[in-house]
Amino acid sequence: MDSVGNIIVYFIAAIAIAVFSVLTVTSRRILRSATYLLFVLLSTAVIYFQLGYQFLGAVQIAVYAGGIMVLFVFAIVLTHKPNDRSGVLDTHRRIVGLVASGLGTVLLLFALFYMPLPHDASLAECLTSGREITMQQIGEAFTGSGRLQYLLPFEAISVLLLACIIGGVTIARKR
């Protein structure tokens, strides 16, 4: 049995995700669309916090809601005039989009409700049976090379970020 507070927080986050996801892809002003995406990302961070992953929620807010959204707003302001609206969708394109996303949703919901899950525990049970994840455990998982430790991907990501910096500067610089 989950506490009432958890249920309320879940419904606020879930409804915010649903509403703002729809607004993100239907809004005709692109800056508003990016702002709605920011709200979706923040609601996702709320769900991470609720599931007990505090570090991941903080990373989600800092990297996604902080870093990536700044990049998006920067690019939008560079490439759009203020009050620029995208044109009205033609029906053909809208129908194709609706059919594709509708088919995908039906397939995913079918998979969700008809595939057997190993066990059907509530959030409270999972939070009590799982151990608390400390910063020390996260640090050891990223800096060890043993079983269930990820030093190699961690280093690969750092090289990738370096390549990304150099690539970004090379592509976007003025010639």
Residues of span 45-64 touching other proteins by CB under 8 A: 47-48, 51-53, 55-56, 59-60, 63-64
- Judged by CB under 8 A, does residue 127 bind other proteins? yes
Token code pair at residue 58 = 């903080």
DSSP at 173: S
Distance of alpha carbon 161 from alpha carbon 168, whole angstroms: 10
37 near 46, Cβ under 8 Å? no
Q: How far is the CB of 51 from other proteins (least distance, A)?
A: 5
Listed residue (33, 13, 17) closest to 25, CA to CA: 33
- Judged by CB under 8 A, does residue 151 bind other proteins? no
**Closer of 1 and 146 to other proteins (Cβ):** 1
Sequence-separated (6 or more) residues with CB below 8 Å from residue 55: 133, 135, 138
Binding letters toward other proteins, positions 12-51, x by CB under 8 A: -xx--xx--xx-xx----x--xx--x--xx--x--xx--x
- From candidates 5, 88, 116, 120, binder to other proteins by CB under 8 A: 120
Q: How far is the CB of 70 from other proteins (least distance, A)?
A: 10
Q: How far is the CB of 32 from other proteins (least distance, A)?
A: 11
Whose tokens are 């053909």? That residue is: 92
